[in-house]
C-alpha cells in the first residue's frame, strides 16, 4: 500500500473536487496549500505513477456523456481469469470486477451512444458464449466516488 505523507493527504482531501480552472491551476493549488507549484506538480505525478490517482481530471456524468451499462456474466470459476481478459479487451469496458456470486464477473461498458453500446455488448456476449445480465441505470440517487478518505482508520487497519 502506498505511504502518503501529510502533503499528499492534504492534496487529496482538498482537491477531489473543485480543481481551479485557471491558467496555472497547480500554482493556485500550491498557493492554497502553502507550497511551491513545482512541489504540487511533482506530488501529483508521483501519486499518479504509484497508481494512487487514476488521473487528475473530470468525472463525466454517465448519462450525459454517452451510453453506459452495468453487465454481469456467470462463468465457471476456473475460467474466470480468461473470461475477464476477454471482457477487458472489449472496447468500452472501464470497470471489471470479480464478485462473490454465481454472476461472478461484473463490468461497466460505455459507448458514444445506445446503438454502439448494444453492438459492443452483443459482440462480447457472442465471444463469451454466455448470456449477459444487462442492467442499465434507471435512476441515480447518489453517484459520486469523491468521498472523504478515512486516513485514521487506514492507519489502524
Partner 1 sequence: MSHVSHEPVPCTDAERRLRALLERGLPINPRPWLTLGEQCGMSESEVMACVYRWQAEGLIKRMGLVVKHHALGISANAMVVWNVPDEAVGELGRRLAAEPAVTLCYRRPRRLPDWPYNLFCMIHGTRRDRVLAALDEIVERQALQAIPHRVLFSLKAYKQRGGRYTREDDSHDRRTPQPA
Q: Interface residues for partner 1 in 96-135 (CB under 8 A)?
A: 96-101, 103, 105-108, 110-112, 114, 116, 133-135
Please give the grid coordinates belonging to residue 130: 454466455
Calpha distance 94→71 (Å, rounded): 12
Q: Which of residues 69-98 bind partner 1 (CB under 8 A)?
A: 70, 84-85, 87-88, 91-98
Site for partner 1 in 24-63 (CB under 8 A): 24-27, 37, 41, 44-45, 47-48, 50-63
8 A C-beta contact, residue 148 and residue 13: yes
What is the distance between the alpha carbons of residues 62 and 67, in angstroms, rounded to a whole number? 7
Please classify residue 57 by burial: count the beta carbons closer than 10 Å to its beta carbon, then call 0-12 exposed, 13-18 middle and 19+ buried: exposed
Closest CB 131 distance from partner 1, rounded Å: 9
In the bound state with partner 1, the residue whose beta carbon lies nearer, of 113 and 126, is: 113
Choose between 34 and 58: whose C-beta lies nearer to partner 1. Answer: 58
Amino acid at each position: 500500500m502506498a505511504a502518503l505523507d501529510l502533503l499528499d493527504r492534504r492534496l487529496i482531501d482538498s482537491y477531489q473536487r473543485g480543481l481551479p480552472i485557471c491558467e496555472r491551476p497547480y500554482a493556485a493549488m500550491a498557493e492554497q496549500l502553502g507550497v511551491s507549484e513545482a512541489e504540487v506538480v511533482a506530488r501529483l505525478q508521483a501519486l499518479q505513477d504509484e497508481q494512487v490517482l487514476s488521473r487528475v481530471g473530470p468525472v463525466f456524468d454517465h448519462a450525459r456523456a454517452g451510453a453506459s451499462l452495468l453487465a454481469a456474466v456467470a462463468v465457471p470459476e476456473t475460467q474466470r481469469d480468461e473470461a475477464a481478459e476477454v471482457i477487458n479487451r472489449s472496447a468500452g469496458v472501464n470497470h471489471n470486477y470479480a464478485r462473490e456470486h454465481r454472476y461472478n464477473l461484473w463490468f461497466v461498458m460505455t459507448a458514444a451512444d445506445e446503438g454502439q453500446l448494444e453492438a459492443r455488448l452483443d459482440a462480447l456476449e457472442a465471444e463469451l458464449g454466455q448470456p449477459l445480465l444487462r442492467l442499465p441505470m434507471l435512476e441515480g440517487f447518489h453517484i459520486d466516488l469523491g468521498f472523504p478518505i478515512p486516513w485514521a482508520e487506514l492507519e489502524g487497519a
